[in-house]
Amino acid sequence: MYLKKISVKKFVFIIFILINCIQFSYSQDTIRKTKFYHTWINTKKDSIKFQGILYELQDSSILVANSLIVKNYPLWDYKVTKIYISEIDKIKARRTKSVGRGILIGSITGIAVGGIIGLASGDDPTDTWFAMTAGEKALVSGIFVGGIGAVTGLIIGSIRVKFTINGNIQDYNRQKKKMRKYSVRYYNQ
């Protein structure tokens, strides 16, 4: 096959154009991915509890969106409830899907570690009454350690961050900076 020879200048020019095309394609504006946090709000009246997404922190109140479905937010398909700080006792927050993510990561890690341990232990001698190959050991220990990893991931993924307000605006203002991380929108950044 015959390839046409090109000059060094043409080659450098083509490389320059390709690099610039790649750079311009990466420099397009991207939308920041918003992290949503499932929020539980206990009021001073124990019978009234709210849950949803912590939508906005305001000076004397917070807004909680009722939808836990992340796909509803770009469509504005949710309702917002305003809760005054004087009514709030505690606020708890946890990232949405963190329990499932914890179980998945824990079980995959456990399966991998268990499999490595099983393979590393090698084959049992064949003259014993209960002999297992390295592959069988990897399978059994992978399932066992994977279960332990899933339970550990469940526990870690279930952890909630807690803010105690006690209906006090000063307590709210002290913790407002930390709470902004868990809010979809910020007020008076």
Each residue's pLDDT, cut to its tens digit, for the chain (189 residues) gives: 455 666 666 766 777 676 766 655 554 444 346 777 888 888 887 667 888 888 888 888 888 887 666 555 554 566 788 889 888 889 898 888 889 999 999 999 999 998 888 888 888 788 888 888 888 888 899 899 999 999 999 999 999 989 988 888 898 888 888 888 888 775 444
The pLDDT of residue 27 is 47
**Cα(89)–Cα(86) distance, integer angstroms:** 8
Q: Is residue 174 part of a domain?
A: yes
**Cα(187)–Cα(74) distance, integer angstroms:** 19
**Cα(147)–Cα(144) distance, integer angstroms:** 5
165 and 93 within one domain: yes
149 and 174 within one domain: no
**Cα(87)–Cα(92) distance, integer angstroms:** 15
In the three-class reduction of DSSP (H, G, I as helix; E, B as strand; rest coil), residue 33 is classed as coil
The pLDDT of residue 30 is 42
Q: How many domains does the chain have?
A: 2
Q: Is residue 112 part of a domain?
A: yes
Whole domain around residue 68: which residue ranges?
37-97+159-182
The CA-based angle 183-68-148, given to 5 degrees, is 95
Residue position matching structure tokens 């606020």: 91
The pLDDT of residue 8 is 64
Token digits for 174?
């002290």
Q: How many CA atoms lie less than 13 Å away from 65 in the CB half-sphere?
A: 22
The pLDDT of residue 38 is 85
